[in-house]
Structure 1
């Protein structure tokens, strides 16, 4: 019973579940705002009403998702004070800085310009109104950067010093925090992943209507546009992912070792990429694996003969470094283990890659089967079914990617500085965390149903009916101010 009500375990579950739930909305907000801005730009430049109709349709999906994202995001910051007060007290001076910037700069910009975009259709000039959606999109991207900068400090702490008298970390260089190499590589990786998911939602919406032969002109455009955006997003994810892997190997070698079930330090031929591995229950020894020679060396160091440290050697080195006589008690786990759960890290890394690759392969095939000369009416229904049901693949890849990022950092909440077990609130009993976990799960479950129904209802409703203006005329205010 005591294990079941362990405050640390429950707090980790609560934060993990609410974080992943919040991230259901983040990539769609970032990616869809960008796609909507591009569609509206096409309308302003060409005057073609189909782009305006698509802007209205996917703009509505964006707004529904944005509202849900704001609600769930607020809860995240409250958890730091409730369940993780030791962490907040110790690193709040550093961690709070980028979060404050996100709220005061990015979120206020986003909230201001999204309001102007919603209510300014029939009040602002076309160019000014177009600028509002672009500024909304840019603000959402800036917001993501500040959040990722805060997270990057947990992965690779920089720009601080420990105040021994106060027993806390204090900010010394905000520039170092904001230009953390982990943040600089993680940021484009996250943005391109967001583009992939938003594009897949656009493709699924178009496929649903094309299956029913509705709004064919608009939906064919949306389909092709979404497929190309998905592929572009994947190319960006791949390129930035390799850069992120190099930085991760340099800053968190244990995470890379666990991601590959790489137990012993090796280089060149022996530093091989594991396609499949089985290890001992303690996660310290390999039993069987299928490997590609040289590939891990290239992924980790950028060369085919670079050395990659193994789990066993890193465990020994970390024990001496963080559990020695001069080490802080905050940096040494109670069980002395510095290895994350290998099977979680190993498989989440592969599911991240596999799901993203599958989403893009479907997009490539989709471009081939829907090329200009193909009669869409003659395509079998299962083609549209694949396009619809593949929509969550990019999101699932992002979610397991975050599981890999956070679980691979364990046992630390701030790498090399503070363990997760020392960060939990000391005065919060396990039963209190359990009650809030159950409540959050039930409420979030209900909100998820509401979100899904609202978005699917908006998607199935299709674009609003807006008539093509006569030659030499422009759309009147009533047509522009279609209510969302």
Structure 2
């Protein structure tokens, strides 16, 4: 493989790995803050136990997210320095705001929350939990604003061959970002919900025959919370995904045509449910699709009769706007002077789009089953139910990853996709963005980072398994011993 392919693999591995931690942190932090709110308002010990148990798992996941996130941002200087030089005046602003504002608040209030159990009043301590959880959402907002600028550049002009920021407000209120943010937050809640359902179902089933199980109410409440959150999150994903898809049809028509393997322009256009055959070619000669007539036209334009352009026609348009061949430039390596392939990897975009939807639906379906089997005080008694719930923890993680792979690979060959109505020149081919490195150098960093991330994965799984199997008893400290003279009113110690 050449440097470009290796650099893309390295960025893909580190990004997907890091994003396994991000949605669980976002979703679980808000749910834990809600649990603690319920405890402060009601005084019910059940909610304190839930806060402590799920909070411990949140901390483990957050720590791993920080470690992998630091490496993620260094990627822009390691293998994508040409990209950083081109977009640094614009792209650096939201990244700096994330680090200096959101992450600073996030870390500060998380520290206060961890060490403030016995030192802060209940309400102040609760405020720290909410400040941390809301800061995680703010952090996601700034990161998504930066990513959305790559998908749809706004608020910039070309000066001396590079984009220069003209309006940070335009970058932060980019309609692409405003569509991506609620969709990403809904995906984070779906991840946290499946996590709650799977772990709680396993604990309920494991001790189902113990009538005196002291923490049964904790697991049942957690399972039902996860079930309801998962159902609502999937509904929100459908609504926000529809809005995001309509924007993509306007801003990146090739991406959405690839997502449907729509090789030829149709009016009205049918929505492909599944394709049989080889979808790699742009003409789809050997592909048979099972589709819903006119549905794609509605999804694209809210109209059952509108034309939707196919891949072949879009290739002609892209060639007219951005050229048929790469420039003759040694920095482009093997692609120097070669024809530009404007078609993304069709199998990845087509099946990635369906995996995103399918895995999300499975997670929501398990949530519905969890609510059904725990209705009216019931406890799951079959072996297959909790096992399915445990396996289903992976489905929203896979759905989120598939969605991001589709989003990033679907805009190729651009690393900064052109804005159809934006400033001319504010776009960049991926082939131009890579650093001038040797294949040996990139192989070294790729192998090193992969091994380090594999080791971190083992550590996280070990810690997660330790605290999951330990249950509430592993995170709730015993009551402090009391002297005979004490009246019995001394509170529990809640420090970690």
Q: Same fold (TM over 0.5)?
A: yes
Partner of residue 366, structure 1? 370
Partner of residue 283, structure 2? 284
CA contact (8 A) 1:332 1:419 kept: no
Alignment of 1:371-386 (within 5 A): 371-374=375-378, 376=379, 379-386=381-388
Q: 1:392–1:400: structure 2 CA closer, same or farther, 3 Å change rule? A: same
Partner of residue 445, structure 1? 454
Q: Which runs of 5+ in 2 are unaligned?
A: 208-212, 419-426, 480-486
Residue 126 in structure 1 maps to residue 122 in structure 2: yes
**RMSD (Å) for aligned C-alpha atoms:** 2.3
For residue 432 of structure 2, give the secondary structure of its aligned residue in structure 1. coil
Residue 430 in structure 1 maps to residue 430 in structure 2: no
CA contact (8 A) 2:264 2:309 kept: yes
The equivalent position to 1:68 in structure 2, one of 60, 64, 67, is 64
Give the deviation of 1:335 after TM superposition: 2.4
TM-superposition CA deviations, 1:403-462 (whole Å, max 9, x none) = 100010101000031011110012x11110001100111110010011011012111111
Give the deviation of 1:370 after TM superposition: 1.2
- Which deviates further from its counterpart, 384-393 or 280-289? 280-289
For residue 41 of structure 2, give the secondary structure of its aligned residue in structure 1. helix
CA contact (8 A) 1:352 1:400 kept: yes
Partner of residue 207, structure 1? 201
Partner of residue 480, structure 1? 494
Residue 14 in structure 1 maps to residue 10 in structure 2: yes
Q: 1:59–1:281: structure 2 CA closer, same or farther, 3 Å change rule? A: closer
CA contact (8 A) 1:333 1:419 kept: no
CA contact (8 A) 1:271 1:296 kept: yes
The 2-side partners of 1:358 and 1:280 are apart by: 25
Query: Size of the alignment, in residue pairs?
Result: 469
- Which deviates further from its counterpart, 153-162 or 47-56? 153-162
Alignment of 1:339-354 (within 5 A): 339-354=343-358
Q: 1:480–1:358: structure 2 CA closer, same or farther, 3 Å change rule? A: same
The 2-side partners of 1:425 and 1:466 are apart by: 52
- Which deviates further from its counterpart, 416-425 or 317-326? 317-326
TM-superposition CA deviations, 1:284-311 (whole Å, max 9, x none) = 3343221110111111112212221110
Partner of residue 222, structure 1? 222
TM-score scaled to structure 2, two decimals?
0.90
Residue 421 in structure 1 maps to residue 431 in structure 2: yes
Partner of residue 313, structure 2? 313
CA contact (8 A) 2:259 2:350 kept: yes
CA contact (8 A) 2:201 2:219 kept: yes
Q: 1:289–1:63: structure 2 CA closer, same or farther, 3 Å change rule? A: same
Partner of residue 274, structure 2? 275
Q: 1:284–1:116: structure 2 CA closer, same or farther, 3 Å change rule? A: same
For residue 291 of structure 1, give the secondary structure of its aligned residue in structure 2. strand
The 1-side partners of 2:434 and 2:235 are apart by: 39
TM-superposition CA deviations, 1:273-330 (whole Å, max 9, x none) = 3432434643333432211101111111122122211101110000011017999999
The 1-side partners of 2:309 and 2:336 are apart by: 20
Partner of residue 295, structure 2? 295
Q: Which runs of 5+ in 1 are unaligned?
A: none
TM-superposition CA deviations, 1:138-192 (whole Å, max 9, x none) = 00000001000110011111111112x3x31111111111111111011110111
CA contact (8 A) 1:49 1:466 kept: no
The 2-side partners of 1:325 and 1:204 are apart by: 51
